[in-house]
Amino acid sequence: MQAMSSPGCREQAESSPQQGMRRMVKLAVGGSMGGGGAGVVGLQGLQGPQRVPRPSRELSVEEQQELRRKINSRERKRMQDLNVAMDALREVMVPYSSSPSSSSAVGIGPQQHPYLPPGMPPAGRRLSKISTLVLARNYILLLGSSLQEMRRLLGEVSSVGVGINGNIPRLLLAGGWPLLTTPGQFLLTSPDTHLSPSKCSLMPQNAPLTQEEPPAWGARGVTTMPLCPCGVCRIPRVVHSTPAPRFPK
């Protein structure tokens, strides 16, 4: 799985409870341990008046160890779930996630993506978490821009009375989606201001518009559609064949 993608496979170090316990016993004794410098003090260690109040019931060493093991397991599970979600996001960003650990990238060789933002790792290497998030954000913004461009074109067609029976779906022309970016940033309501190639958030400033075939955007569970016709992003629309769960919280 993705959590095991790290060559070191660190999970195995603690997969055996005994080893984890050894580590914790060492911690409880008071030595500086491996993970968690902030955790030098064990559960029973905080005794100052300003610290967390003691539990109403003193726990035995075994109970403390069991509790700590339980908490660690939960935290590990939480982080693993987070990594699963991160890998799912990487799969959408297939051209960049081509490490052997990413099953979706099998068969995709290293290649330079023309829209790779500065600072991104070179193609052929697994995307880091931060790169995945940044790229996903840019991709979302680009999709919003494409949608606005499509609306603008439909509006032009509508203004000259051309269309299917002269009718354009109102929803497409309404442009009512809240295409807000992060607070303080621009609102994607004016296509003219955000759709020029120089404004494309995924495109390097000096990258020429080519008519070459785009990289293979496709992943397991993802269907690639024809290219966006706007000619700006040239990124295919992505449709999930299997809707992702919503992870209710």
- The residues that touch DNA, with contacts defined as CB under 7 A, are 2-3, 5-8, 10-11, 13-14, 20, 23-24, 27, 32-39, 41-43, 45-46, 51-52, 55-56, 68, 70-72, 74-76, 78-80, 83, 121, 126, 128-131, 249
Task: Between 2 and 224, name the residue whose CB sits nearer to DNA.
Answer: 2
Shortest distance (Å) from residue 124 CB to DNA: 9
Shortest distance (Å) from residue 32 CB to DNA: 6
Shortest distance (Å) from residue 67 CB to DNA: 8
Question: Cβ(227)–Cβ(236) under 8 Å?
Answer: yes
Alpha-carbon span 65 to 27, nearest angstrom: 11
- The residues, ordered by sequence, that sit 6+ positions from 238 with a Cβ below 8 Å of its Cβ are 92, 217, 222, 223, 224, 225
Task: Between 66 and 153, name the residue whose CB sits nearer to DNA.
Answer: 66
Shortest distance (Å) from residue 118 CB to DNA: 13
Task: Between 79 and 180, name the residue whose CB sits nearer to DNA.
Answer: 79
Structure tokens at 99: 């490490």
As beta bridge partners, residue 238 has 224
Count of helix runs (H) and strand runs (E) in the chain? 6, 2
